[in-house]
């Protein structure tokens, strides 16, 4: 609901920009987009706009703060650590006022204008996208010189009447709309941000409706048990032994005992454990099986009942499974998983100089950090192992903003990094070429085929011999022998490369 309120406030701001012809420059406001991984622990500060010289800028408050590279290095040396979760205290009983307030909040989700009248109709996804485009065009009026909406315009919603900036609200706005490093938001990213809030509202409403239905079904079970016990007491009052009645049907009860046990396990899973809700993406597997580190094939939960669960695969295949069967399996909930950690491998020739590896790492890290809407942080880039094929393998680890439920966005982002890295290896002369395979001597009978094979294998064999000799002497290739297109500057230890044309290939704002 907080995100929905932020979207409605942005809609109000867009209406004021259009009505009163407001401009961001009139307020002298400038915000600097921070990295929440590096600066998320900073305490909020209260600032005011005092004239044209004062600016509400999110700058570093601690001058002695470590640089991001130092923080990452220290974290690697200290090792991984997860804070233990403390046991939560029992919640107090919910009063009538809270229940009424919750019902009123749900009533707003059922209207045609969940984000307010000024935002426009948003009861369907298509209407929400059209209303979002209208709001975006209105916000662009605040900065006529820019083709995009700048975050300074959205930051006006955090400006109080006394000129003070609400830092907490600014952070919430950044988390919802995710501007780039320059503070710009294009139309596609703006629509994605509002669409994410819209889907959260719809899934929340569907989950509440499903919970109400499950509660009604559970109420029927409680009523049945109550009337059964009441009937036993009534029979005892009338002089009829209820135990004799149960003894008569004991064979029937024992025959269905395994079925009742399985049903009871599924009932406890749905009512107490609640491993999934409607709209979650889950993967069901045996408890003893290993989990895939690259993401599992997930099923979308369509319906949850006391007896069974209905879910659908991405190919629109629908399946129904009893809850008792699911209770004895391992359920991976991708929607409840945190931001996904993506891993990929890079191979380089064994004679690649270490300073080239460092330049490659710094360039890939810059590429990742330039996309704050996709990647949360750059975690690691380290050597994994050596191979007999004269190659070294490095692992790339980064944390994405999306969870494993959005597999498409994860794969696309990782594909961009992989393709960008491939272009880097070509440009820097680091592309690995596999050694030639063993030769089939039966081909020597055909002189034409043997001559053609010799011509094809000669360059690779010569290159492989050079690599073997250099590896044996313990020397490395001189970086002065870089291929054309690289701009060497300085000696062999320090060299600058121009990757602007490669980075432009992945610029989505063009």
Mean pLDDT for each consecutive 10-residue tract of the chain (510 residues)? 77 75 63 52 40 37 44 59 53 60 67 84 87 89 85 83 78 84 85 86 78 75 84 82 73 70 82 84 84 77 86 89 87 86 90 90 90 87 83 91 85 91 89 70 52 53 48 37 38 57 65
DSSP string, 307-338: SEEEEE-TTS-EEEEEHHHHTTSEEEETTTS-
CA neighbor of 340 nearest in space, from 280, 279, 283, 294: 294
Domain 249-333: give its CATH architecture.
Answer: Roll (2.30)
Q: Whose structure tokens read 């990742």?
A: 368
**DSSP state at residue 150:** E
CA neighbor of 27 nearest in space, from 140, 155, 126, 130: 155
Q: C-alpha angle 71/341/400, rounded to 5°?
A: 80
DSSP string, 253-298: HHHTHHHHHHHHHHHHIIIII----TT-EEEEE-TTSPPPTT-PPP
CA neighbor of 334 nearest in space, from 381, 299, 302: 299
Question: What residue ranges do the domains of the chain occupy?
Answer: 1-47+100-212, 249-333, 341-434+490-505, 441-477
> How far is CA 391 from its chain centroid?
32
Q: Whose structure tokens read 């054309």?
A: 484
Is residue 446 helix, strand or coil?
Answer: coil
Question: Rounded distance, CA 296 to CA 334, Å?
Answer: 9
Per CATH, the number for 341-434+490-505 is: 3.30.70
pLDDT at res. 360:
92
DSSP string, 8-75: HHHHHHHHHHHHHT--GGGGT-------HHHHTTSPP--EE--TTT-------S-TTPPPHHHHHHHH
DSSP string, 370-412: T-TTTEEEEEEEEEEEEETTTEEEEEEEEEESS-TT-HHHHHH
Q: Whose structure tokens read 């009063």?
A: 95
pLDDT at res. 71:
56
Question: Rounded distance, CA 417 to CA 400, Å?
Answer: 12
Is 296 in contact with 407 (CB distance < 8 Å)?
no
């Amino acid at each position: 609901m907080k995100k929905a309120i932020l979207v409605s406030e942005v809609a109000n701001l867009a209406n004021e920009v259009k009505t009163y012809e407001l401009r961001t420059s009139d307020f002298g406001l400038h915000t600097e987009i921070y990295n929440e991984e590096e600066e998320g622990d900073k305490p909020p500060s209260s600032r005011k706009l005092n004239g044209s010289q004062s600016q509400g800028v999110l700058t570093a408050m601690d001058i002695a703060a470590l640089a991001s590279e130092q923080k990452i290095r220290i974290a690697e040396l200290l090792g991984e650590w997860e804070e233990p979760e403390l046991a939560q205290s029992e919640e107090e009983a919910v009063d009538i006022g809270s229940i009424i307030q919750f019902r009123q909040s749900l009533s707003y989700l059922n209207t045609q204008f969940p984000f307010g009248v000024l935002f426009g109709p948003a009861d369907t996804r298509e209407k929400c996208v059209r209303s979002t485009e209208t709001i975006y065009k209105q916000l662009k009026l605040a900065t006529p010189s820019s083709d995009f909406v700048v975050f300074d315009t959205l930051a006006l919603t955090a400006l109080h009447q006394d000129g003070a900036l609400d830092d907490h609200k600014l952070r919430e706005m950044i988390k919802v709309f995710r501007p780039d490093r320059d503070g710009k938001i294009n139309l596609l990213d703006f629509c994605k941000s509002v669409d994410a809030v819209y889907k959260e509202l719809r899934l929340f409403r569907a989950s509440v409706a499903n919970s109400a239905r499950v509660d009604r079904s559970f109420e029927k079970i409680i009523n049945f048990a109550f009337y059964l016990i009441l009937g036993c007491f009534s029979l005892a009052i009338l002089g009829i032994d209820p135990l004799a009645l149960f003894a008569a049907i004991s064979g029937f009860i024992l025959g269905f005992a395994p079925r009742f046990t399985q049903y009871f396990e599924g009932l406890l899973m749905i009512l107490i454990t609640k491993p999934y809700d409607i709209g979650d993406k889950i993967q069901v597997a045996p408890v003893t099986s290993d989990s895939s580190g690259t993401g599992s094939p997930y099923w979308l939960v369509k319906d949850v009942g006391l007896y069974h669960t209905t879910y659908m695969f991405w190919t629109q295949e629908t399946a129904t499974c009893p809850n008792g069967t699911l209770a004895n399996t391992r359920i991976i909930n991708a929607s409840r998983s945190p931001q996904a950690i993506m891993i990929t491998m890079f191979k380089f020739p064994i004679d690649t100089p270490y300073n080239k590896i460092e330049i490659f790492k710094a360039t890939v890290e810059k590429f990742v950090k330039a996309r704050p809407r996709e990647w949360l942080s750059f975690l690691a880039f380290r050597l994994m192992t050596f191979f007999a094929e004269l190659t070294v393998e490095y692992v790339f680890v980064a944390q994405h903003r999306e969870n494993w439920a959005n597999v498409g966005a994860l794969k696309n982002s990782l594909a961009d990094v992989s393709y960008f890295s491939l272009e880097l290896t070509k440009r820097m002369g680091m592309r690995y070429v596999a050694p030639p395979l063993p030769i089939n001597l039966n081909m020597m009978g055909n002189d034409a085929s043997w001559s053609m094979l010799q011509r094809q294998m000669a360059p690779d064999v010569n290159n492989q011999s050079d690599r073997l000799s250099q590896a044996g002497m313990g020397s490395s290739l001189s970086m002065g022998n870089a291929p054309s297109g690289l701009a060497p500057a300085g000696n062999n230890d320090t060299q600058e490369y121009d990757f602007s044309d490669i980075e432009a290939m992945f610029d989505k704002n063009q």
